[in-house]
Amino acid sequence: MPTKPRPEDVFIAAFLSAYEDLSWADADKDWVDRRIDGGVEMLATRKSDGKTLAIEHTVAQPFVGEIEDYRVFFEPSFLKLEADKALIVPDRWIQVFIPARTLEGHKKPAARAGIIQAVHDWIKNNRLSTAEGESDYTCAVTGVPGTADFEIVLTVKALEMPKNGVLHVRRQQVKNDFSEVIRTVMEKKVSKLVAQPADKHVLILERQHMNLVPKQILDEVRKQAVNFPLMASVDEVWILETIGYQPGGHFLFELNDDNDRHLATITCEGTAWTSQSGRDGIPICNY
C-alpha cells in the first residue's frame, strides 16, 4: 500500500474536481489503495445522488520496464554525464542516445561503473569528430570486471549551435513490446478497477513520452480488449498528458470515442482544473 503522496494523487483529484460538469467536485473521496493492498486508487461518492465512481490510473510505458530503466539505471548513471562540462563542444549541440536497458543485467556496481565510464570516454575521445546530422557509432566496453567485452551502438545527433554548446544524453528504445505493456494493464489494472463495485468505472492512461501518441495507445487497448472481457465494464478510457510535467505545472485529460472523435478535454494547472470543453466547444456532460 502506498504511504506517501504520489503524482497520480494530484492528477486524480484534479480530474475528479472537473469531471461531468463539476458534479463530482465535492464528492467523498476514498483512496482505497491507501488502506487496502491491491485496491482501486479512488472510489468517489457523489453527494448529490450517492452515485459512485471508481478510478484507476497507470502510466502507458513505451516499452516494458521503461520507468524502472529510467529511475534505477539511466537517471543515476548516464544522465549525469551531462554535468561534465569537459564533454561539451563549443558551438555544437550533441545528443548521444544510449540503448535502453544497457545496464540491465549488470548487477555489480563495478560493472555498471565500467560501462558508464566506457561511454564517457567514447564521448570525450570522439566529441570533436562526430559527423553533422545523425550517425551510429560503436562504443567498445572492455576490461570491465565480471563482464565479457561487448559493444554498444550509440546514435549521435550533432548540429551547429553558434555561441553555445550543449551535450544531451538520452535513451533510445530498441525493442517494440508495447503490446506487452497494454496486456499488463489489462491483467492488473483493469481487473483491479472493475473488481471495485461502482456505478461507473474510469481508466486513466498517462502519456509521458512523445514517441507514443494517444491513438496508438487507444488502438492497442481496443485490439486487446477482444481478449479481455472485463474491458466491457470500463465506461471510459481517458488519456492523461504529462509530457514535460513538473510538480505544480500543466497537465490535461482527453477523452475520445471508439472512432477517435474528440469528446472532452480537461486542462489543469498545479492541483486544479483550469478549463474544460466538450465536442465542438460544448461543456462537458455525461457522455
Give the DSSP letter string of the chain.
---S--HHHHHHHHHHHHHHHHTTTT-EEE-HHHHSTT--SEEEE-TTT--EEEEEEEE--SSTTHHHIIIIIITTTGGGGGG-GGG--TTEEEEEEEETTSSTT--SHHHHHHHHHHHHHHHHHHTTTPPSEEEEEEEEE-S-TTS--EEEEEEEEEEE-TT-EEEEEEEE-----HHHHHHHIIIIIIHHHHHS--SEEEEEEEE--TTS-HHHHHHHHHHHHTT-GGGGG--EEEEEE-TT--TTSEEEEEEE-TT--EEEEEEEETTEEEEEEEGGGPPP---
In this prediction, residue 3 carries a pLDDT of 59
**pTM, to two decimals:** 0.75
pLDDT in tens, the chain (287 residues): 665 668 899 999 999 999 998 999 999 999 999 999 999 999 999 999 999 999 999 999 888 777 787 788 888 999 999 999 999 999 999 999 998 888 887 878 889 999 999 999 999 999 999 999 999 999 999 988 888 899 999 999 999 999 899 999 998 876 778 898 999 999 999 999 999 999 999 999 999 887 778 998 999 999 999 999 999 999 999 999 998 888 889 999 999 998 889 999 999 999 889 988 875 444 444 33
Output the pLDDT for position 95: 95
